[in-house]
């Protein structure tokens, strides 16, 4: 028996959520049961009533708006509680074609992948505004850089995860989950497959990206935090190296003067500055080593959480 839970995070989507729910196929080859889970993030419209009428099997709500990342994490936990073997996330705005879920879950059912991304061919989307296209490309570029994975569209909200992958992820970003899941997936050795999907024009305005600068700030911060937590040496060592380099550059004339005259006279300011850069470098380097030790601890803790989740399944 293979159970699929399709989860839909929704924030004020009364106009579109019913059609998304109705479009979800209830019979998929290789899946014995399909259930629909809606995570209502403090909607102030009729999202919940509409979703229930349209046939959602389970609806969980946040009392107030907590953010998409927060709701995604809640949804994954809830899907595990519902005994899911495969979880699909789809947006409530109707931009993805829910009929394509069958295609999305295939690599997981066949045992080829842990996570499947439905990627959108952004260049060919005439209805997507240019600034959004550029933002999407930039965010995908950084996710590729940080994860080292050949991701085509890191921002896609249409994805499938095996329950094992869900049990391995420990997400922290409250605002968005899209890039963080991929950076973690890489560190946990999860196999990602990408399948091309349709992407329609959005009806109604964006709930998530009211302001592209806010999005860049929040998503960027979550990405940097993931890097810091999973690859601290890659973050801290280059920074400490910059300080060591500055220290050396400032010190060169001081040493030249000293070797020529045997004196430091007139160069004490520079000498002090060089020493300050050097000490800062040492501090940052030490932080890097400490952060690396913490990472080992985190790895152990995550392994314990994974085993606990696995046991209670
Ligand atoms: N839980 C939760 N969901 C949200 C929030 N903001 C948006 N969403 C949902 O997340 C999904 C994606 O949000 P969208 O506003 O469509 O964001 P987007 O697809 O990146 O941007 P658009 O291209 O403008 O649609 C939709 O299902 C929204 O209802 C939020 O604050 N909390
Ligand atoms: Mg959308």
CA 215 to chain centre: 13
What ligand has the least distance to the C-alpha of 206?
1
pLDDT given at position 207 = 75
CA of 145 to the centre of ligand 1 (A): 25
| Model pTM score | 0.90
Give the relative orientation of helices 130-147 and 178-187 as an angle to the nearest 10 degrees: 20
**Would the CB of 114 count as within 6 Å of ligand 1?**
no
pLDDT of residue 313: 81
| C-beta of 135 in contact with ligand 1 (< 6 A) | no
pLDDT of the chain, 313 residues: tens digit per residue: 899 999 999 999 999 999 999 999 999 999 999 999 999 999 999 999 999 999 999 999 999 999 999 999 999 999 999 999 999 999 999 999 999 999 999 999 999 999 999 999 999 998 988 888 999 999 999 999 989 999 999 999 999 999 999 999 999 999 999 999 999 999 999 999 999 999 999 887 777 777 788 888 889 999 999 989 999 999 999 999 999 999 999 999 999 999 999 888 888 899 999 999 999 999 999 999 999 999 999 999 999 999 999 998 8
Pick the CATH number of 3-225 from 3.90.550.10, 3.50.50.60, 3.40.47.10, 3.30.420.40: 3.90.550.10
The end-to-end CA distance of the chain, in Å, is 14
Instruction: Choose one of 9, 47, 62, 119 to mutate for the ligand 1 pocket test, by most ligand atoms within 8 angstroms of C-beta.
Output: 9
Q: Is 139 in the pocket of ligand 1 (CB under 6 A)?
A: no
pLDDT at site 204:
75
**Whole-number pLDDT of residue 275:** 96
């Amino acid at each position: 028996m293979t159970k699929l839970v399709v989860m839909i995070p929704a924030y004020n989507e009364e106009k579109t959520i019913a059609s998304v729910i109705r479009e979800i196929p209830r019979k998929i080859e290789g899946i014995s049961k399909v259930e629909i889970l809606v995570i209502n993030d403090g909607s102030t419209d009729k999202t919940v009533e509409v979703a229930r009428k349209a046939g959602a099997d389970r609806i969980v709500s946040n009392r107030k708006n907590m953010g998409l990342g927060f709701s995604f994490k809640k949804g994954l936990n809830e899907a595990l509680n519902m005994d899911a073997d495969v979880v699909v996330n789809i947006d409530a705005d109707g931009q993805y074609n829910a009929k394509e879920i069958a295609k999305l879950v295939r690599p997981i059912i066949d045992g080829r992948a842990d996570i499947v991304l439905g990627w959108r061919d952004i260049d060919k989307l005439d209805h997507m505004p240019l600034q959004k296209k550029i933002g999407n490309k930039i965010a995908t570029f950084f996710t590729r850089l940080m994860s080292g994975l050949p991701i085509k569209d890191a921002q896609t909200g249409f994805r499938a995860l095996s329950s094992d992958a869900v049990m391995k992820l420990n997400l922290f970003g409250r605002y968005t989950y899209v890039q963080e899941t991929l950076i973690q997936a890489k560190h946990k050795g999860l196999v990602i497959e990408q399948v091309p999907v349709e992407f329609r024009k959005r009806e109604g305005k964006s709930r998530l990206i009211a302001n592209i600068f806010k999005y860049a700030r929040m998503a960027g911060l979550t990405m940097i935090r993931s890097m810091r937590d999973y690859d601290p040496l890659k973050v801290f060592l280059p920074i400490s190296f910059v300080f060591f380099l500055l220290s050396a550059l400032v010190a060169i004339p001081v040493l030249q003067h000293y070797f020529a005259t045997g004196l430091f006279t007139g160069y004490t300011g520079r000498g002090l500055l060089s020493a300050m850069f050097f000490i800062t470098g040492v501090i940052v380097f030490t932080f890097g080593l400490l952060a690396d030790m913490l990472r080992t601890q985190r790895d152990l803790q995550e392994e314990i959480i994974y085993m606990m989740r696995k046991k209670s399944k």
